Structure 1
Amino acid sequence: MFSTAPAKTDDSRRLRNTVLIAIGSVVIVATYLYLVIGQPAEVAQSSTSQASLIAIAGYVIGAILLAAGSIHRLPTATIAMIPVAIALNIVVGQLVAILGLPVYIDSIGTVLVAALAGPAAGVVTGILTNVIWGLTLSPIALPFAVVQVIIGVLAGYAARYGMFRRFYLAPIAGAVTGIVAAVVSAPISAFIFGGATGGGTGAIVGAFQAMGQTLLGATTLQGLLSDPLDKAITFTIVVLILAALPSRFRQRFPFVRQYRVFGKAPVSATSRSASADESRS
């Protein structure tokens, strides 16, 4: 008789990982609802206020649970790439904010990791970006960690379904991601920051309010105007980066190979030789 112990072990491991990911997702959603419903204005002033610490704890715990549930699928290359992606998000995002542009461009690293390693890796990258950013440079970034979650998830699934195989598909996926991100971020902008989140977006909110929109309506319309453009630009930048990467490097990621993110993997010289030998024999 064949032993069923290995199969049971695999099933229990899959169940454990699924439970960890589910709990992590619930914690992140609960943190978002706490910020939106509780509307703690002190988050905007200090990253060490009680509300900020609750948000940090919620997002970090959620990220840890997601990472624990998916770490078995993340190769060393992904783990090494996440800190670089976080730095890229913060540096570019901070520069764009200083310039006062009506976009953000603060999720290039999140989308890049998600495209190469999947949604879970993108989510971990995004959450840690905004937590570190909020603690070091801009407390405003902290409540918007949930938006990075949306970006990481949708970018990962966009990659899974081939949206990075063609240059023209990436900005479409980015625009759709931007619409969802706008709807999720609008209550945070309105209820916590009063529509004033810095950069060039505050002027757009003010313009919509001058037209008679409520604060939530103004932040929603601003998001629907800025976010699709922002994410379309971000996804386009990422698809250009991915196209410039060597195929051998991209194929190192299990997610890329499993879902053929960039289409059928090129056949190596060794594989071609082996195939030729088989056909002759």
Structure 2
Amino acid sequence: MAERNATSGQRLSPMGESLGNHEQTQHTRGTHTLLNVLGALVIAGTYLFTVLSAGGGAEDMTVSLPLVSGYAVGAILLLLGNLQRIPLSAVALIPFAVAFNIVLGQIVGFSGIPLYLDSIATILVGYLAGPAAGVLTGVVTNLAWGLTINPTTIPFAAGAAVIGVLAGIAGQHRLLERWWTALLAGFGTGIVAGFLGAPVAAFVFGGGQGVGTGSLVAVLQATGQSLLGAATLQSLLSDPLDKAIAFLLVWAVAKTIPQRVKNQLKTR
């Protein structure tokens, strides 16, 4: 039962209260774990299928449909596997986090900088409230962004979900408590996100997204790289730096958040 503030009478969600049943059975937890594993396997399998089908250097656009479909199924499985684990106290943060991601992502996308910075709020929510909240923030960001302003963001929802998961795991292991571990966690997250996003950029949209990233892909292609090779190199140049900066910013912001607020948002 939710507690009531003694001075204001406001009802507060107890630490760890989630959208699902308070007393999850072993069967339910097993189902959630299975959905998460299946989601990760579908995303990884889709990536491998796409790269192998493209033949390394082939610029074959026929792989775009199974790529988008596979990533979408993987993102949905991750979302279903985590939805009931989201703490109620974090739900109110997610719309603001989504709006922040979209606004900053739009600004950076048209700036000419070969970065994204559209996952800072996803990382913050994942750090504060766990992987489940990170997944929901990432997926909703890309869907809302795509349905309202920029449709090209929708196929990247699987990558956004993975970023949310990794941010939540980093938070659980206290990797965002120190600036240098935050940088390392961001760099590693960027490598994973870069590999996942490169095939989408190459085979769905024909290059990088945004003025800066698209220009970098074009430059790399001019050196003789295939479309997939150029998109992958661009992603591995941009994403690790982008996520390292984002994680470092989250570390700085987190230092200003009172511990009682962090405790209220943490999952059990």
Settle same-fold status: TM greater than 0.5.
yes
Structure 1 residue 103 displacement after superposition: 0.4
* Length-normalised TM-score, structure 1: 0.74
Which residue matches 1:66?
81
Q: Which has the higher helix share?
A: 1
Which of 123, 129, 132 pairs up with 1:117? 129
Pair 180,254 (structure 1): closer, same or farther in 2 beyond 3 Å: same
Indicate the SS of the match to 2:179.
coil
SS at match of 1:125: helix
Q: Compared with structure 1, are the counterparts of its residues 40 and 210 closer, same or farther at alpha carbon in structure 2 (3 Å cutoff)?
A: closer
Q: Say which of 209, 212, 221 aligns to 1:197.
A: 209
Q: Which runs of 5+ in 2 are unaligned?
A: 1-23, 55-59
Q: Is the 8 A contact 1:31 1:58 kept in 2?
A: no
Residue in 2 that maps onto 1:81: 93
Q: Percent identity?
A: 45
The count of corresponding residues between Structure 1 and Structure 2 is: 239
Shift of 1:151: 1.0
Write the letter of the residue equivalent to 2:91.
I
Aligned with residue 95 of structure 1, among 104, 107, 112 = 107
How far, CA to CA, are the matches of 1:137 and 1:15 in structure 2? Answer: 38
Gaps of 5+ in 1: 1-8, 44-49, 259-281
Instruction: Spell out, residue by residue over 1:207-227, the C-alpha distance to the aligned partner (whole angstroms, 9 max, x if none).
Output: 111111111111111111111
Query: In structure 2, what is the Cα distance between the partners aligned to 1:129 and 1:61?
Result: 14
Look up the SS of the partner of 1:99 in the other structure. Answer: coil
Q: Is the 8 A contact 2:195 2:235 kept in 1?
A: yes
Pick one of 3, 27, 33 that aligns with 1:12.
Answer: 27
Aligned partners of 2:49, 2:136: CA distance in 1, in Å? 20
Residue 175 of structure 2: which of 163, 175, 178 is its match? 163
Are the counterparts in 2 of residues 59 and 127 from structure 1 also a CA contact under 8 Å?
no
Task: Work out which of the residue numbers 187, 190, 214 in structure 2 matches 1:175.
Answer: 187
Shift of the 32–139 alpha-carbon distance from structure 1 to 2, 3 Å rule, reads farther
Q: Structure 2-normalised TM-score?
A: 0.77
| Aligned AA (2:80) | L
Q: 1:24, CA displacement in angstroms?
A: 4.9
RMSD: 3.0
Q: Please give the secondary structure, in 2, of the residue aligned with 1:229.
A: helix
The runs of 4+ residues in structure 1 deviating greater than 4 Å are 22-41, 50-57
Q: Which has the higher contact order (CA 8 A, sep 6+)?
A: 2
Larger Rg computed on CA atoms: 1
Q: Give the corresponding residue for 2:116.
A: 104
Q: How do 1:1-281 and structure 2 match up within 5 A?
A: 10-25=25-40, 58=73, 61-62=76-77, 64-68=79-83, 71=84, 73-255=85-267
Measured in 2, the distance between the counterparts of 1:139 and 1:51 equals: 18
